[in-house]
Amino acid sequence: MAKPMTKSQITDHLAKKASITKKMAAHILDEIAALAHREAKNTFTLPGIGKLVLVNRKARMGRNPATGAEIKIPAKRVVKFRVAKACKDAALGKK
């Protein structure tokens, strides 16, 4: 299995493709991340890749894996990433 790309590798690739400096490409990546963090509560979409969605989880019963004792897991809000169909098809191939 291949290693995932690092931020510097992604920046280098974007800089070459867009004919911009690596510093500018890194700034663009940082701005996209900051925008995603800010807008996640309203659903943030990256076209062709997926979207960040805020989801409410219900309270439930779970188990402590070390002791086997039952514990109550409280309700909470979590951020989920839903992968776009185009990205799934590109990564997995069409069915």
Provide the domain count of the chain: 2
| 57 and 76 belong to one structural domain | yes
- Contact (Cβ atoms closer than 8 angstroms) between residue 53 and residue 82: yes
Q: How many residues does the chain have?
A: 95
Provide the whole-model pTM: 0.76
Residues 6+ apart with CB under 8 A from 86: 48
Name the CA dihedral angle for 16, 22, 26, 29, rounded to a multiple of 10 degrees. Answer: -10
Q: What is the CATH number of the domain that holds 92?
A: 4.10.520.10
| 68 and 95 belong to one structural domain | yes
| 24 and 53 belong to one structural domain | no
Q: pLDDT tens digits for 16-61?
A: 999 999 999 999 999 999 999 999 888 999 999 999 999 999 999 9
| 22 and 62 belong to one structural domain | no
Q: pLDDT tens digits for 72-92?
A: 999 999 999 999 999 999 999
| 55 and 27 belong to one structural domain | no
